[in-house]
């Protein structure tokens, strides 16, 4: 069973990130906040596609649902 910490590591190892928070306690349903400079100049859908690309087959096998809030570092600085 996948943990939130493992999912966070997968995201951080596959995408340059300034900040990643992952919540989820059932091993299949997760919520994530991801801040990455790789999102710069891209639409939200493209942000999500980048994350899905990093997670690859885990999205079909280990992760049933992943709710994401994605931000560029500039957008994130306005949120905090």
The torsion angles phi and psi of 16, rounded to 5 degrees, stand at -65, 120
The answer for residues whose C-beta is within 8 angstroms of residue 1's C-beta and 6 or more apart is: 27, 28
Whole-number pLDDT of residue 27: 86
pLDDT-derived band at 80, boundaries 50, 70, 90: low
Radius of gyration of the chain (CA): 12
pTM of the model: 0.93
Domains, the chain, ordered by start = 13-75 (3.30.300.90)
Query: Which helix H or strand E contains 23, and what residues bound it?
Result: strand 19-23
pLDDT at 61 over 70: yes
């Amino acid at each position: 069973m996948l943990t939130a910490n493992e999912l966070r590591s997968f995201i951080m190892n596959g995408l340059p990130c300034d900040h990643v928070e992952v919540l989820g306690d059932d091993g299949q349903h997760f919520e994530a906040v991801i801040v990455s400079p790789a999102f710069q100049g891209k639409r939200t859908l493209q942000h999500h596609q980048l994350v899905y690309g990093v997670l690859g087959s885990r999205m079909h096998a280990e992760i049933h649902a992943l709710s994401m809030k994605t931000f560029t570092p500039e957008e994130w600085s306005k949120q905090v």
